[in-house]
Chain A
Amino acid sequence: MRWFLWFKRNMEAILQALLILAGAIGVLAAGAIVVLEHAWVTPTLEPDAAEVFRHRTIGTEFAPLAVLQVLPDIFPQYFQPKAGEDWIDHFGFIRRTDSADAAANHGLPVGFCVTNYQPSSASPSPVPFVGLSCAACHSVQFRAKGDDAPREVIFAAGNADLDLIPFFESFRAAILFKEPNEAGRKKLANPPSGRPYNHDTPDLEESELQNVLNMDRIEAELNKKSVKLNVLDRLFIGRWLAAVQAQALKTIPKYDYPFWGHEKPYQIANGVAGDDGRLPPYNTVGPGRTQPFKTLLNSVLDLPVNLNRGYSKIPAVFNQEQWVWSQFDGTIKDHVARSALAAMTAGATPDSLDQPELAHNIKQAAEYTRTARCRKTFAEYFGVTPDAARAERGKKVYDQHCATCHGGPVVPRPAAPAPYWAYNPQDFGDDGRPLDPKNPGPWHGRLVPSELLGTDTARITFRYGDIAPFQLYRRFTYKTEVGHPYTEFGGYPLVHQLEFQRDHIRFTGAYVNGPIDGVFARAPFLHNASVPTLAQLINLKERPKVFYRGKNRYDTADVGLDCPEKPDAGQYYRFDTSLPGNSNAGHDYPWAFQGKGWDKAQLEDLLEYLKTF
């Protein structure tokens, strides 16, 4: 009892001491977190704009490095379903060849960056996360037909092989899919007897299922690679996993379940399902394209927009200074906003983009694209020299039929960084208004009414396109109503570093003219990547109705991708131009194929001239 008497006598002092201790622990903990945060992330304001464009974060972190490294082991059906192909090949990313580079970047492909920013908020994190930089989409590596050696990467051109949508759908599948747990397995082992013939899935309750992707599984796979997680890692990865799983469940009404990889035998037997998420019906987008406006509307309007067929080729972003209004439909004026919205289609949020390093990177990337040029000519890249005499004759055809809309090369070609393309939308563009066919031009940077141009309109007439500009604008400004919660609707609650003017974003309903410098690196052609070669684009050759895409080789004679009419090992994706959003009609310049005025010799000369761009 002596201790009790002692306690009773000193109770007040003890309680006070406990409270003071609790306060001290709290203050120390808060201080420790703040100190650690600064140790986790040291914001670097990278001065080299090209480096930022290639390898720096733009707020698109989506998974912890440790998790990405084991996803192919846990989900081979999504990430390496074909023998001899890892996920980098499978989804068409560009492998880093410089071995020092590759090691420094954990074996990740071009345009992948590893940072200590958390997804969506860009708050500091002790565990490294992986994100995409601009170059993940905007860089390309062609292989010529007959000469398979990978050539140099052309930065700022679009990756024609990249199958990004299935990559992210695979990721979503990995997050969402469940398997029977101990109890579920027991139930499956003793199926009820006496049921009539059916294809029902087994009757499993939620309590009989578990996520395939869970911390135990992740750690087990990491241990096989002799990677050990510490307490903080486990805490943060666990929290991340719970949050993305909850978020993925919450957004199922918007995106539905990703469903390949778990096909039922009856689906495969009936041809409803295949074994490759890159193929229709799962993927209507195909390589080299994304659906940026579906993604943006999904996020800013929180709607499914399932009927959207606005496919966009991942474009070359050379020479943005000569695009007063950019995007295929000439809807964005502000250079920084171009970059910021691009980052948003890849998962960045206004919150993450307001962090100093990210805002800096977005501005730097925009600056890079302003003066980025295609560094190599066609001749330098492929070692195939265009015929000078024919090109000379082709120039006349070009000047007569193309230059009013597209401008032309500066001769002789000036040294970098001077622009080698002559294009003056400032003088001839009338601030991006539609061109008037009665006026002889030039029509630099003008919108072309679609009845004149005739290319597929899904990208310019999509539902909600007219309300998108205001909704995108307000996500970056405090000047409109702040939504509640602001993360999903309404304005930004603070003054955003990347705020842009309302009249720098618009809806047009038409495609815009622009420079076509470095044209060989822009293949396949048109906004929806529906025309594989330049020979087909200028109607020297007939445009194909159906062709196969994948890792197509470059056809230096026709200038573009060599797309077979039948699938083969590398060419898996059936591009059917009769499907909505895929039409390859229109832009019949200088003449429709074998139509009025069609002149084969002149077209061959024109093609030769285009090789010199």
Chain B
Amino acid sequence: MNAPTATVAIPPQAPPTRWPFAIAFALFGLGLAAAVAVSLTEQNLNLYRARFTIWLVMLLVTPAFCRYALGRRTDAQWRRWRWFWTFAGLAYFVHLYYGLRAFHFSLNDVYAKQGSLTATSNLIVSALWALDLVQIWLLGRNLPRWGRVLQFAAVVLVFISAFTATVIFKTGYIHNAGLVMTVIVAGCVVYGLLDCYSSRQPGKP
């Protein structure tokens, strides 16, 4: 990419739009309230809160995956990604809290029930997601190389674990929701790759 030369007039920066924040926040707030309220009359409060918040995570993280796959070239695109990724992460930490509460905050129990592969990868995913949220809010868009690697790892691992936890391990609604998420994200990845490929070869159809 060329550095802008003095002869090119830089358009005054439009103030960033509030839409991404407003939409992600509304989904997050309403979804959270629903998850917290409805689970109150379910058979097992912690378990159902963990279950319902996973729905919310899926709802918020799917747009974030898509934006990531389609590229975040402009500030606006990046901001859109950041809000959805952030609120999905917050919903995920609520899920994690109630999940751990359901296991009486005992890592031993988590390992006993989930097996070491799933439990360890869940812990790694949680740590990466948390670290990534910290770095994007502290450092903004311009991450050092290792930061970008970390982010890539976080996004990919979150996707893989969302995929395995829903499509592979579950049946019923949540399985189908996982499939929908997968199809949408896969579509975005393909589109993003094609887009990237075609823009690298200008002139060719």
Contacts and interface: CB of A to CB of B under 8 A. Distances in A.
Interface of A: 13, 15-17, 19-20, 22-27, 29-30, 33-34, 37, 118, 120-121, 123-124, 239, 243, 349, 351, 354, 356, 478, 484, 487, 493-495, 497
Nearest to B30: A26
Contacts of A121: 41-45
A23 B47 contact: no
A557 B158 CA distance: 77
Contact of A22 (B26, B109, B112, B113): B26
Interface string B39-67: 11111110100000000000000000000
Contacts of A118: 41
Given A23-B25, A27-B28, A123-B41, A34 B36 contact: yes
Given A123-B45, A351-B43, A494-B113, A27 B22 contact: no
Interface stretch (B100-108, B120-128, B179-187): B100-108
A493 B51 CA distance: 12
Contact of A33 (B23, B36, B113): B36
B44 A23 contact: no
A243 B172 CA distance: 24
A351 B27 CA distance: 30
Nearest to A122: B45
A19 B20 CA distance: 11
A30 B32 contact: yes
A25 B28 CA distance: 11
B102 A494 contact: yes
Given A16-B22, A239-B41, A478-B113, 6 more contacts: A19-B26, A26-B28, A30-B36, A351-B47, A494-B47, A494-B109
B31 interface: yes
Nearest to B32: A30
Q: Which of A20, A23, A124, A354 has the most CB of B within 10 A?
A: A23
13 contacts: A19-B23, A19-B25, A22-B29, A23-B22, A23-B26, A23-B27, A26-B28, A30-B29, A30-B36, A123-B41, A124-B40, A494-B47, A495-B113
Nearest to B24: A23
A518 B37 CA distance: 50
Contacts of A494: 44, 47, 102-103, 109, 113
Contact of A356 (B18, B44, B104, B109): B104
A26 B32 contact: yes
Nearest to B31: A26
Contacts of B36: 29-30, 33-34
Contacts of A22: 26, 29-30
A354 to B, nearest CB: 8
A355 B42 CA distance: 14
B19 interface: yes
Nearest to A351: B44
Contacts of B32: 26-27, 30
A306 to B, nearest CB: 27
Contacts of B43: 120-121, 349, 351, 487
A556 B33 CA distance: 64
A482 to B, nearest CB: 10
Contact of A495 (B33, B35, B106): B106
A264 B30 CA distance: 53
A242 to B, nearest CB: 10
Nearest to B104: A497
A13 B17 CA distance: 10
A493 B45 CA distance: 13
A120 B34 CA distance: 21
B163 interface: no
B33 A20 contact: no
Contacts of B19: 16
B37 A24 contact: no
Contacts of B35: 30
Contact of B26 (A26, A30, A33, A243): A26
A439 B45 CA distance: 55
Contacts of A495: 103-104, 106, 109-110, 112-113
Contacts of B106: 495
B36 to A, nearest CB: 4
Interface in B68-116: 102-104, 106, 109-110, 112-113
A23 to B, nearest CB: 3
A16 B18 contact: yes
B109 to A, nearest CB: 4
Nearest to A478: B113
Contact of B29 (A17, A23, A484): A23
Contacts of B29: 22-27, 30
B22 A20 contact: yes
A33 B33 CA distance: 8
A14 B42 CA distance: 36
A367 to B, nearest CB: 20
Contacts of A20: 18, 21-22, 25-26
A63 to B, nearest CB: 16
A349 B172 CA distance: 24
